Structure 1
Amino acid sequence: MAHTMAGNKKLLTRVRKIKGQSIALENSLEGEHECLKVLQQIAAIKGAVNGLMKEVLEGHLREHLAAEDITQVQRMEEVEQVISILKSYLK
């Protein structure tokens, strides 16, 4: 998990942005704003979550799967875990 610790500030900034967008979406729905504005906010949240996933996934692949000090068995276990997470994420 070293990659998330190294980029902790950047990742937390992304999460806080998503949190703010989520609150804005909630406020839009409570205030009965136009459908297009709600859809735009949903799209922005999805894009932000995808960006966060990309950052964490890239760090994981570089730090863990590309590590030279793990066995082939460990590497395959990591691959299977990442595949499982991606399948869940892409449902």
Structure 2
Amino acid sequence: MGRSHVVAEKQRLLNRVRRLRGQVDALERALIADEAYNDVMRLVTATRGAINGIMAEVINGHIRTHMVDPNRAPSQSERNAADELVSVLRTYLR
């Protein structure tokens, strides 16, 4: 069961990585073209947000697959705790 959450969400994660690649490419082009500081910072911020989004998805899958075993029918309090942890992590990664 090691990486099952990643495999299950593989296409979604790959789509995020492809968008991230586009953002990094845009950042590179902006630096090469000596674009304005504000434009470069906007691209850096967008890229950081994209990486944080991927991280949040992977952590969410890990929590829901390994910390709260769906095969064991977790209790409501376990599901609530997992939801709260995911919410805190998403807030932190923004």
Task: Report the TM-score, using the length of structure 1 for normalisation.
Answer: 0.72
- Map residues 2-13 of structure 1 onto 2, 5 A cutoff: 2-13=4-15
> Where does the alignment leave 5 or more consecutive residues of structure 2 unmatched?
73-92
Cα separation, 1, equivalents of 2:33 and 2:59: 36
Task: Report the TM-score, using the length of structure 2 for normalisation.
Answer: 0.70
Out of 26, 31, 34, which is 2:28 matched to? Answer: 26
Match of 2:54 in 1: 52
The one-letter amino acid paired with 1:38 is V
Out of 50, 65, 68, which is 2:67 matched to? Answer: 65
SS in 1 for 2:5: helix
The one-letter amino acid paired with 1:35 is Y
% identity of equivalent residues: 39
Out of 13, 16, 23, which is 1:14 matched to? Answer: 16
**Matched residue pairs, number?**
71
